[in-house]
Structure formats: C-alpha cells, structure tokens
Amino acid sequence: MNRLFDKLIVLTCCLVGASRLPVDAALVAALCLSVALSACVETLRDSAQQRGSGIASLAFIAASIFAPAFVPFAPLALYDAARGFDRESPSPLLGRAMLFMVALAAHFCSGNLSAETIALSTVFAFAATLLSVRTTQVEREYARNATVRDDLQERTLLLEAKNRDLLERQDYEVQVATLAERARIAREIHDNVGHQLTRAKLQTDALAIVHEADPAAAADFQSVGRAVDEALSLVRASVHDLHDDSFDLGLQAHKAADAFMRGSSVRVAVEVSCEHVPANVGACLLAVMREAMSNALRHGRAGRIEVRCLEHPALWQLSVLDDGGSASDMAAGSAAEGHTVMDTTATGTAATERQGASTGVVATSRTVRTSGGMGLASMRERVEALGGSFSAGPRRDSAGWRVFASIPKERAGAV
C-alpha cells in the first residue's frame, strides 16, 4: 500500500513536468508505457520484482535519450530502480541516474526540452529516488521488527509452556509428598497405636478372666475391653482409609512409566481416568502394567507402549498395547518362557496356526496360558484373585501385543 501511494505522488509530479510539453501521441504513449511498466513491476514478487524493476527502468531511461516525451516520466522508472537499493552496492542505481543525466544533457543541448522542464524532471527524479529508498528502508525495518516480534512471541510461548510444566511438576511432587506422608502416618498408627491397643485388649481380657470370682471387677474389665476393642476398630478403619487415600493409581502409573523409559528407548504413553481406586485393586493393576511393559520390551522389541486405565460404573479396565514385533515374534518369545498362544476365532485360529507353524507354537484358543513361565501366570493370578478377568495376545488391528485386565467393583470390594 505504501508503494501505491508513493507512485501516485510520483506520477502526479511527472504529469506536472509533462504539462510543459505539447500533448501529442508520443507524450500519451510515454505516459501509458510508464504506468504499464510500473504496474507490471508491482505484480512481481521478491527477487523477480527486483530484476523486473531494474530491466523496466533501464529500458525506459534508455528510451528517454531518443524520445523527449519519455523524460518527464523517467522519475517513475527511477522510483522502481531505487526499490532494490543497497548501500553496499549502489552501482545499479547510480548507473541509471547517470544515464538519465545523459538524456537530460542531450535534450538540453539539442533544444528538444526547455530548461524549466529539465529542471523539474531533475528535481522530481531526485525526490522519487529518495522516496523509494526511504520506503525500502521502512519495509526492511518492518520486516525485521516482524521477525523479532515473532521470535519474542515464540519464546514467550515456550516460556509459558515451561512454566506450566514446572507448575504441573510442582503439583505432582506436592501430591506425591502428601500421599507419602499419609502412608507414613498410616504405618506409624498401625505399628505403634494399633499394637498398644491390641496389647491393652489382651491385658483386659486376661484380667477379666483372673477376676472371674469378683463379678463386679470382671464386668468392669469386660467394659474396658469393649471400649478398647471399639477404639482398635476405629484405628484400623482410619489406617485403612489413610492407606487407601495414599495410593494414587495415576501418579504411580506415571512414575512407573518414567522409570521404565529412563532405562530403555521405549516411549510410554499413559492415560489414567479413575476417580478412586482401592489400594488392592491399584496395586494389582500397577503390577500388571509393569509386567506387560517388561514383556513388550523383552519379547516384542516394542518402540512405543500405550497404557490406558479406565473406570466404568461397574468395573476397572486396564489395557496395555505395544507396537512390537509380529504375533509370531511375540509367540516365539512366549514359547521361550514356556507359554502357549491360543486363538478361538476362525480367522484368528488359521492365522495363529500359520504363525505357530513357523515358530513351533501350538495355536488353539485366544487366551494365553503358561506352562513354565511366571510373568503371564502372575498377572492372571493377581487379576483373578480380585474376581476379574485377564487376557493377552496379538493385536488384530496391527502388529504388536495386547494385554487386557478387567476387575469388577463389587467383587473387588468384597475381596
């Protein structure tokens, strides 16, 4: 837009200079040609624009040597020539300026142009050159400022992201410390207060038996024993509540994933969407998750593992997916530990039979059983001990392995 305003001003000056000449076909042709060349230059971009402006200005100024009608419109050509001005290499602009001065001198000597027209053209050409150089500097400064602004904005966004990460890390550490303190308090109460109350309960029961001959004393000891028993029940309930509150499955899962990634090149993505998980259920799911990640690295040579733990109205679900080797590779690794891979579906049976044929693994059902290995058997026993179900096997949608565990809330609560 700045260039458009500048060229309108320069064109106005050119028309003022041309008003001293008689209006004829040559003057109109010079006006139309100068405007057309200037407009064509604006349609170009970047380096092509600089080359186009240089060629157009050189051709127009060279034509002004032979045609006097071109001289009043030469400032418009010099404006385009100065748009690529560089202080380190000003020779292109100086060459065109010298060529324009040669044209002015030639027409002054031949008497084709009056001294007034030549003077106006000289002044307008100088002003147009300065205006173009100034606009070029403004555009460069604007581009430089825009680059600095973008860099600052990018750094600001990075700083904000780092601040958010630090705040989240701080909250994470505070929550971990809080849960650890709750667990410590629960242990202290259990080891100290609980044992003392249990001792007091045993002593009151013993004294009640010793003083059976005195019904009043025996009744008093029995009353004290009931009070101690109630206190012991309250302490046990408080200890269990503190212990359950001190276990956060999300924090423990992320800690386990971080520890796993520090010791390997595998990337682990963890998603835990559980409001509250009892300590026994959380410990079971966490153990299954660790064992599944270990198997994915040891047997599947996985590069990425996805852990997803979801809470539903009636159950908790854990799934561990990896992108390791093919099903046959995983089956071979399981066979090395004594596992047998099985698939019950028709298509799965055929596929697994083909894999088993190449690896020496027997395929008959979609579950994974163990005859000698401990990893899958341990995971299955942990889940089934809480009334849940467990399965493991090759992924159907892509290469890799899938471990799935489901624990009903009702049965887990009863256990």
Tens of pLDDT, residue by residue over 277-305, are: 787 888 889 889 989 988 888 877 788 89
- Interval 114-135: pLDDT, tens: 888 888 888 988 888 888 888 8
Instruction: Identify whether residues 130 and 232 lie together within a single domain.
Output: no
Report yes or no: 99 and 65 within 8 Å, Cβ to Cβ.
yes
DSSP-based three-state secondary structure for 113: coil
Q: How many structural domains does the chain have?
A: 3
Instruction: Identify whether residues 261 and 406 lie together within a single domain.
Output: yes
User: Residue 168: inside a domain, yes or no?
Assistant: no
Q: What is the CA radius of gyration of the chain?
A: 44
- Using 50, 70 and 90 to split pLDDT, how confident is the model at 154? very high
**pLDDT at residue number 21:** 85
Q: What φ, ψ does residue 370 adopt, rounded to 5°?
A: -130, 140
Instruction: Identify whether residues 224 and 257 lie together within a single domain.
Output: no
Instruction: Identify whether residues 44 and 73 lie together within a single domain.
Output: yes
C-alpha–C-alpha distance, residues 244 and 232, integer Å? 18
Over 80: is that where the pLDDT of 52 sits?
A: no
- Using 50, 70 and 90 to split pLDDT, how confident is the model at 20? confident
Domain boundary among 245, 270, 296: 245
Instruction: Identify whether residues 187 and 319 lie together within a single domain.
Output: no
H or E element in which residue 318 lies: strand 315-322
- The residue among 338, 345, 336, 331 whose CA lies nearest residue 392 is 331
DSSP-based three-state secondary structure for 112: coil
Over 50: is that where the pLDDT of 70 sits?
A: yes
User: Residue 152: inside a domain, yes or no?
Assistant: no
Q: Which residue has the higher pLDDT, 148 or 1?
A: 148
Instruction: Identify whether residues 123 and 207 lie together within a single domain.
Output: no
Domain hosting 37: range is: 2-147
- Interval 250-261: pLDDT, tens: 878 888 888 888
Domain boundary among 245, 277, 301: 245
DSSP-based three-state secondary structure for 305: strand
- Using 50, 70 and 90 to split pLDDT, how confident is the model at 155? very high
Report yes or no: 232 and 197 within 8 Å, Cβ to Cβ.
yes
Top-ranked range on mean pLDDT: pick from 22-36, 146-160, 323-337, 387-401 = 146-160
pTM value surpassing 0.95: no
Instruction: Identify whether residues 139 and 15 lie together within a single domain.
Output: yes
Q: Over range 225-230, report the average pLDDT.
A: 81
User: Residue 129: inside a domain, yes or no?
Assistant: yes
Instruction: Identify whether residues 202 and 139 lie together within a single domain.
Output: no
- Written as one letter, the residue type at 297 is L
